[in-house]
């Protein structure tokens, strides 16, 4: 796209961030930015919600991100958590099982939940109404983009009238999907592979007594692999690989769909809401940034569906980039911090995609002998208790961790660079307890035992943080202050109800831990190293060397 000139005699709207695309990733990104006070314009080509149940699943990390956006209850109330996932052969015999109801990665939520995408998008868009500084422009599409040292000029066209207008933004985020106009505008190519096998995805609504298979299953039938599962709000999702010679028109006929779904639901009582043929991809943009333009979600990467991680990866992008943008826009961090977005996110995304491909190889054995060998081998290795646990507890899923990036030393070192756990804690004013992140706020945190976090807070000379003093289980809440602060920082007190936080610190030999706003570990600290930790964080942010004020979001930075 060439040079952008605003229409004559038209005032150019100015915002800090323009988000292109208001699917789940774009809408979540705008909520995260809105919560941090960033003036944001969200541009969506479609004038009405698409209403299609495309994405289907999210994980515990995604729920934690929705929680950070202040939308946990609204999202979680519209999802269901499957207790298990089974891998069965053509005869329905189970050869592998993931016991999700017994799996807890420690991040505060169930490891897998299913949702209805139209409902999710409605919830995320409604969340934008909380922020007067966030505006959603429907029926507008990106048709031009130019950038300079100070910002980006975006040319938008009204889809209905063709009328054009210009918007000036400090940064532009392309959240506009696999066919991203933003990616095309900055001429970033994709690399990777597309898979030739087409699939029929069928979604619909069904009453409970018309469900014939109530569990989530990968049906590893070498003649026609399939995925079937109950979904949220009385829905049911099924996907079937097409056989050689089958056409899209043929498999989408009502009688064909009825025959395919019949083993799993009563076709006479199954109301189809979507039946489309698709092929899946393993593609990654060659770079995720061009100057002041960033790519997120499917605009940056696309992966096979076997881990259910396509949307989740986009949500992780949003969680990683939004707080960094907020700090840079407020002047609390230097622009170089934004380089860590791709440095951190790309390797984890590539690893997740490769795991999905490997899982697909298990799922997609395409002849009788290969399927028999797979079933036999998996049953045999699972007689070993440790191997069985590895499968049943979903331990093959890549852990949320960054190899290099914004962390002390610049690279992962043990738990530095990994996601911190989120247990339930007790706090004054909420004796029933709450998830840890709700007590931490939305800025940087220094967390440690009460005897260390309090006395050493006065020695902190880095960016604004919230000190969290952890008291052992059994500590009476009545004797704890609800909030206190001095020496330029804020302190809160929590009771470690289940001993998770104290156990984590002891296990890793730390007195204190410095957490980023996205709750990844920036640094481990022993009591005498608090000054160095502050200097390290200041250096990593490229921020001023002296700070004042309490911790918090953008306004406090």
pLDDT at 486: 53
pLDDT at 557: 32
Give CA–CA dist 211/474, Å, rounded.
Answer: 47
List all residues 6 or more positions away from 199 whose beta carbon is below 8 Å from its beta carbon. 239, 240, 241, 242, 277, 278, 279, 280
Checking if the pLDDT of 547 tops 50, the result is no
Q: Could you tell me the residue ranges of all domains in the chain?
A: 13-78+116-188+282-337, 82-109+196-279+367-400, 408-556
CATH number at 408-556: 3.40.30.20
The mean pLDDT of 330-348, rounded to a whole number, is 96
DSSP 187-232: TPPEEEEE----EEEEEEE--GGGBS--SEEEE--SSS-EEEEE-G
- CATH class of the structural domain 13-78+116-188+282-337: alpha beta
pLDDT category, 91, cuts 50, 70, 90? Answer: confident
Three-state secondary structure call for residue 377: helix
Q: Which helix (H) or strand (E) holds 24?
A: helix 24-35
Three-state secondary structure call for residue 137: strand
Q: Exposure of 19 by Cβ count < 10 A (0-12 exposed, 13-18 middle, 19+ buried)?
A: buried
Checking if the pLDDT of 549 tops 50, the result is no
Prediction pTM value? 0.91
pLDDT at 53: 73
The mean pLDDT of 330-359, rounded to a whole number, is 90
Give CA–CA dist 360/340, Å, rounded.
Answer: 31
DSSP 235-277: EEEEEEEPPTT--HHHHTSHHHHHHHHTTTB-GGG-EEEEEEE
Q: Exposure of 29 by Cβ count < 10 A (0-12 exposed, 13-18 middle, 19+ buried)?
A: buried
Checking if the pLDDT of 550 tops 70, the result is no
Checking if the pLDDT of 163 tops 70, the result is yes
pLDDT at 546: 46
Three-state secondary structure call for residue 409: helix
From 62-66, 148-152, 446-450, the region with the lowest mean pLDDT: 446-450
Considering only residues 528 and 76, tell me which one the structure prediction assigns the higher pLDDT.
76
Beta bridge partners of 14: 168
Structure tokens at 203: 């979604």
**Structural contact between residues 38 and 329, judged by C-beta atoms closer than 8 angstroms:** yes
**Structural contact between residues 57 and 306, judged by C-beta atoms closer than 8 angstroms:** no
Buried b (16+ CB within 10 A) or exposed e, 513-524: bbbbbbbbbbbb
Checking if the pLDDT of 381 tops 90, the result is no
From 270-274, 275-279, 442-446, 550-554, the region with the lowest mean pLDDT: 550-554
From 26-30, 54-58, 80-84, 214-218, the region with the lowest mean pLDDT: 54-58
Give CA–CA dist 19/202, Å, rounded.
Answer: 31
pLDDT digits (tens, 9 = 90+) for 478-501: 878 766 655 557 889 999 999 999
Checking if the pLDDT of 1 tops 60, the result is no
Structure tokens at 382: 């699972």
Give CA–CA dist 82/282, Å, rounded.
Answer: 26
The mean pLDDT of 209-226, rounded to a whole number, is 91
Considering only residues 459 and 156, tell me which one the structure prediction assigns the higher pLDDT.
156
| Angle formed at CA 364 by CA 359 and CA 365, multiple of 5 degrees | 115
Give CA–CA dist 129/381, Å, rounded.
Answer: 52
The mean pLDDT of 37-43, rounded to a whole number, is 98
From 214-223, 312-321, 433-442, the region with the lowest mean pLDDT: 214-223
Q: What are phi and psi of 264, to 5 degrees?
A: -115, -30
pLDDT at 184: 97
pLDDT at 515: 98
CATH number at 82-109+196-279+367-400: 3.30.9.10
Q: Exposure of 410 by Cβ count < 10 A (0-12 exposed, 13-18 middle, 19+ buried)?
A: middle
Give CA–CA dist 24/314, Å, rounded.
Answer: 9
Give CA–CA dist 166/147, Å, rounded.
Answer: 13
Checking if the pLDDT of 461 tops 50, the result is yes
pLDDT category, 94, cuts 50, 70, 90? Answer: confident
pLDDT at 483: 66
pLDDT at 465: 93
pLDDT category, 307, cuts 50, 70, 90? Answer: low
**The 3-state secondary structure of 544-555, one letter per residue:** CCCCCCCCCCHH
Greatest alpha-carbon pair distance for the chain in Å reads 75
Checking if the pLDDT of 310 tops 50, the result is yes
Q: Exposure of 43 by Cβ count < 10 A (0-12 exposed, 13-18 middle, 19+ buried)?
A: buried
Give CA–CA dist 242/252, Å, rounded.
Answer: 11
pLDDT category, 517, cuts 50, 70, 90? Answer: very high
pLDDT at 48: 82
The mean pLDDT of 523-539, rounded to a whole number, is 92
Give CA–CA dist 443/465, Å, rounded.
Answer: 7
Q: Cβ atoms within 10 A of the Cβ of 245, count?
A: 6
Please, what is the average pLDDT of the chain? 88
From 200-204, 215-219, 273-277, 458-462, the region with the lowest mean pLDDT: 458-462
Three-state secondary structure call for residue 376: helix
């Amino acid at each position: 796209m060439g040079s952008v000139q605003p229409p004559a005699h038209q005032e150019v709207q100015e915002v800090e961030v323009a988000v292109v695309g208001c699917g789940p990733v774009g809408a979540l990104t705008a909520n995260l930015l809105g919560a941090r006070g960033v003036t944001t314009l969200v541009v969506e080509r479609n004038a009405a919600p698409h209403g299609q149940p495309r994405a289907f699943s999210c994980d515990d990390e995604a729920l934690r991100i929705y929680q950070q956006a202040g939308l946990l209850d609204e999202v979680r109330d519209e999802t269901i958590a499957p207790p298990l996932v089974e891998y069965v052969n053509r005869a329905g015999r189970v050869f592998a099982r993931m016991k999700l109801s017994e799996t807890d990665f420690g991040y505060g939520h169930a490891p897998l939940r299913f949702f209805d995408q139209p409902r999710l998008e409605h919830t995320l868009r409604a969340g934008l109404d909380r922020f007067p500084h966030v505006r959603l422009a429907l029926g507008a599409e990106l048709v031009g983009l130019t950038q300079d040292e100070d910002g980006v000029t975006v040319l938008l066209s009204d889809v209905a009238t063709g009328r054009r207008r210009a918007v000036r933004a400090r940064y532009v985020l392309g959240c506009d999907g696999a066919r991203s106009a933003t990616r095309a505008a900055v001429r970033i190519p994709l690399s990777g592979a597309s898979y030739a096998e087409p699939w029929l995805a069928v979604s619909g609504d069904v009453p409970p007594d018309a469900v014939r298979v109530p569990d989530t299953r990968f049906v590893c039938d070498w003649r026609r692999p399939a995925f079937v599962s109950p979904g949220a709000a009385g829905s049911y999702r099924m996907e079937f690989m097409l056989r050689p010679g089958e056409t899209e028109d043929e498999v989408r006929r009502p009688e064909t769909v009825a025959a395919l779904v019949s083993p799993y639901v009563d076709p006479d009582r199954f109301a189809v809401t979507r039946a489309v043929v698709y092929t899946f991809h393993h593609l990654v943009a060659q770079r995720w940034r061009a100057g002041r333009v960033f790519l997120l979600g499917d605009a940056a990467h696309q992966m096979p569906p076997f881990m259910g991680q396509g949307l989740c990866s986009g949500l992780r992008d949003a969680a990683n980039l939004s707080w960094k943008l907020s700090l840079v826009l407020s002047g609390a961090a230097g622009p170089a911090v934004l380089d860590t977005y791709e440095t951190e996110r790309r390797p984890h995304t590539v690893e997740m995609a490769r795991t999905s491909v490997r899982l697909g190889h298990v799922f997609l054995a395409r002849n009788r002998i290969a399927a028999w060998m797979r079933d036999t081998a998996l049953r045999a290795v699972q007689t070993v208790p440790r191997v069985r646990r590895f499968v049943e507890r979903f331990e093959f899923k890549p852990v949320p961790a960054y190899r290099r990036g914004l962390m002390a030393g610049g690279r992962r070192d043990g738990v530095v660079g990994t996601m911190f756990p989120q247990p339930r804690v007790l706090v004054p004013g909420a004796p029933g307890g709450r998830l840890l992140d709700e007590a931490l706020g939305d800025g940087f945190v220094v967390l440690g035992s009460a005897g260390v976090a309090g006395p050493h807070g006065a020695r902190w000379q880095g960016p604004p943080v919230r000190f969290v003093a952890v008291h052992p289980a059994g500590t009476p809440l009545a004797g704890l202050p609800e909030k206190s602060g001095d020496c330029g920082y804020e302190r809160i007190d929590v009771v470690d109800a289940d001993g998770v936080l104290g156990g984590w610190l002891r296990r890793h030999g730390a007195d204190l831990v410095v957490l980023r706003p996205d709750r990844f570990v920036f640094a481990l600290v022993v009591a005498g190293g608090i000054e160095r930790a502050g200097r390290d964080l200041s250096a990593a942010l490229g921020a001023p060397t002296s700070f004042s004020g309490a911790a918090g979001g953008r306004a406090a930075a």
